[in-house]
Amino acid sequence: MMRIKFLDGLRGIAILLVLCFHAFSKWPAIVPYGNSYGDFPVFKYGNLGVQLFFLISGFVILMSLEKNKNFGGFIYKRWLRLFPAMLVATVLIYFTAGFFHERPAGSPDIYSVLPGLTFIDPNCIEMITGIKINLLEGAFWSLFVEFKFYFVFGICYFTLKKINAIIAIFSMFLLSVLGTKLNIVFLNTLSEFFSFTFYGWFVSGSLAYLYFKSQKKQYFYFSILVGLLNIVPYRHDPTSLVFSAFILVLFYTPIYFSKIRIMLENPVFLFFGLISYPLYLIHENMMVSLICKMSKIINIPSILLPIVPISILVLIAYFMVKIAEPFIRNNLDTAMRVSYRGLKDISFGKN
């Protein structure tokens, strides 16, 4: 699928925001500088970079669905896109956890690798089986949300068609709001299982794609409306509300104004956009642990301590993108195609 450069630039900004949040704001009890920088808005609300990822996913996934003939083909391509990096990240995180003993998530057990390798939310596993499985990496939670969205939206798209599928997804988001407001246990359980709470961000991104493709302004207006509904929960914290609104503006502006796109297509944003997925998977625990280690080795201003750990993780993520992921993806795809042909031959009685 052809890459849209300004979306890669937005991915770059999103991962930089998340890095800042985890480096400076989320773990004040662990990092050596405590909460010295945690209240700076870009750091404190950098977690909203994940919502920017969700907006981009809504845009890209609808575009991807249009290029697939059936649900199976769509899910297979999504899995093939995400699994190689997740496999490398899971193996890397698990086998290096002993060295990064300062990691906020603590020491992982063997069962903690299962959610990442299967893309099954451990909360869903616990809801069904009663068995609690610890998460290998905190950042994985959003990948589980994404994969659930892929399944639900994909099924809706190929059964209800495009516009009705978007309406269905939006309805699920509204059900989550209704369940929360009225404290309806069934709706809250359903919403938690499928992560309906986040579907509004995906819907907003999908509507933005429809505008980008057709230039019909009603899609853009509806996208903004849904986007505003997404940030309503932040109204109790004015600074959080402003920052979440900024995330929306950051997403909508290059879609509506083509001249703005060039600002997002600079080499720095594009580079971080390229490595954003593997970097997102591996960064949190390793980065925090390395910050703690660096503080004992070198004497520099504390605000600069994350630079070396982030640089190391960037190199690892770049290796994953350029070498590990293509190698695994190509071999997986070949193996899957050979297996599929073999099953077809057996089903038709061929030798």
pLDDT (0 to 100) of residue 350: 52
The pTM is what?
A: 0.95
pLDDT (0 to 100) of residue 351: 47
Angstrom distance (rounded) from CA 6 to CA 263: 8
Q: Helices (DSSP H) in 161-184: which residue ranges? A: 162-182
Distances (CA, A) of 42 to 18, 24, 47, 173: 10, 10, 9, 27
CB environment 26-63: b (16+ within 10 A), e (fewer): bbeeebebeeebbeeeebbbbbbbbbbbbbbbbbbbbb
Distances (CA, A) of 123 to 14, 39, 115, 291: 25, 30, 10, 30
* Tens of pLDDT, residues 85-95: 999 999 999 99
Which residues does the chain have with pLDDT short of 50? 351
What does the domain layout of the chain look like in residue ranges? 5-340
Nearest to 142 by CA among 311, 240, 281: 281
